[in-house]
Amino acid sequence: MPVMQLQQTRPVAHAGCGPLIAPLTDSLRPMRQQVFDRVRAAGLISRAQIAKDLSVSPASVTAVTAELLDEGLITEVAIPREGEHGRGRPAVALGVRGPAHLVAGLKLSDREHTAVITDFAGRKLAEETISRDTQASSLPEMLDAVERLLDRVCQKANISRRGLSGIGIGLPGFVDHNEGMVLWSSVLSDRDVALAAALQTRLGLPVAIDNDANLVALAELWFGTGRSLPDFAVVTIEHGLGMGFVMNHHIYRGAQRLGMELGHTKVQLDGALCRCGQRGCLEAYVADYALAREAVTALGLNSRLTPSVPVLLETLFQSAREGNPTARAIFRRAGRYLALGLANVVNLFDPALIILSGERMRYDYLYAEETLAEMADLVINSGRPCPPVEIHAWGDMLWAQGAAALALGMLSDRVLAPHRKSAAADF
């Protein structure tokens, strides 16, 4: 049976941020970037330790760090030597100079939009949330909402929009990260929208977009449990069901950047209608609208007088806790479908860890002991244990932090490009 580790709070903050890539496994990237990423991941680190980690000469590290210091990307920090009580020269460590660049991360969802601002070291400076109605927005409406949210979070951080070096944005649906295109999303009324370009024109800032489930995987990769894992899967259950997959410390998106759509794998021929327009998708049996649909039918509610989905789900969950057999059966059925989906993830990818994330993880019936046992039964019997499953019941703000990680990663690639003499803030 899989090991389940229940967590209900945000990750414990690490000294640094970013993937903790093992030494000697990242030698193909430029030395500037390897050194900078090692500094950011450690938080504070000595030149000697960098040289040891990267298996390069101290002279090479000194030359690279001198460039990064001159460009204002890193800084020296005096660290008193243990036991010396102020005597002698303190040791000198290197850290990322946080104010060198600021980025914003935004999560656009069906019921609210969230935003964070972080500095170049990954420290969160401000956050903000605005509500929205549940109807899909036109492109002009979405641009207005993003601009309003961005201005509000910048005001909280006491900066102007021009103080940002870039923006990362995540939203549900089929999103081509490389092309900046949204092929379909539940939050947009139009298809095939060049959202990144439209936002860059409106905001005057570089913008990167991605599927929102990838952002949760990025948040775990940069700030959470996945920092030291080369391969892991994040399955998100909220308004829909998504998956982000990290392979060799990087998000895997597929040949057309539209892979990992676990929610739209088919689990029932001619089954329940999914919001994507097809039938039998896993999401149509597990996501919140699926639970609400089952609740209306099973509990005999009047569809015209049905409360909002959040209220209905809370009522259903409370009924299950109070022992209502029909309510418990609805969650149990959804949990069985989730077990099927997770077993398929294990059989296909063999991840080191599966993280179940999202607000719906408050509903513990979805990952009850019998659900995880069923997942184990559905996994190929190889004689080896199933990967552990962790529960991270966090809200949209974590997704926005993953969007900030998206912006930080792309900005770093641009700023740290080989032979770059200027740390101009664009990507």
Q: What is the radius of gyration, based on Cα positions, of the chain?
A: 23
Give the orientation angle of helix 139-157 with respect to helix 195-203, to 10 degrees: 50
Tell me what percent of the residues of the chain surpass a pLDDT of 90.
62
* pLDDT of the residue at 392: 83
Domain 10-99 belongs to what topology? Arc Repressor Mutant, subunit A (1.10.10)
Q: What is the pLDDT of residue 358?
A: 80
Cβ neighbors of 35 (< 8 A, separation 6 or more) are 50, 54, 61, 64, 65, 68
Are 351 and 231 in contact by the 8 Å Cβ rule? The answer is yes
What pLDDT was estimated at residue 179? 95
Q: Residue 378: its pLDDT value, please?
A: 94
Q: Quick one: residue 381, left, alpha or beta (phi over 0 = left, psi -120 to 50 = alpha)?
A: beta
Q: Residue 367 corresponds to which amino acid? A: Y
Q: List the Cα angle 286/245/408 in 5-degree steps.
A: 115
H or E stretch at 103: strand 102-108
The predicted structure's pLDDT at residue 9: 38
Q: What is the pLDDT of residue 110?
A: 83
Crossing angle (nearest 10°) for helices 47-54 and 31-42: 120
Report whether CATH 3.30.300.30 matches the domain 1-9+101-427. no
Q: Which residues have C-beta within 8 Å of that of residue 305, sequence separation ≥ 6?
A: none
- pLDDT in the model for residue 425: 36
Tell whether pTM > 0.85: yes
Instruction: List, in sequence order, every beta strand (DSSP E) within 2-101.
Output: 4-7, 74-79, 91-96
Q: What angle do CA 251, 255, 259 make, to 5 degrees?
A: 60
250 and 21 in contact (C-beta within 8 Å)?
no
pLDDT at position 27 = 62
Domains of the chain, by residue range, sit at 1-9+101-427, 10-99
d(CA 101, CA 250): 22
pLDDT in tens, the chain (427 residues): 444 444 443 443 447 899 988 765 666 778 999 999 999 999 999 999 999 999 999 999 999 999 999 999 999 998 876 655 556 566 889 999 999 999 999 999 888 899 999 999 999 999 999 988 768 899 999 999 999 999 999 999 999 999 999 999 999 989 999 999 999 998 999 999 999 999 999 999 999 999 999 999 999 999 998 999 999 999 998 788 999 999 999 999 988 888 899 999 999 999 999 988 899 999 999 988 888 888 887 777 766 667 778 888 888 888 888 898 988 999 999 999 999 999 999 999 999 999 998 877 778 877 888 888 999 999 998 888 889 999 887 666 788 999 999 999 989 988 988 655 443 334 4
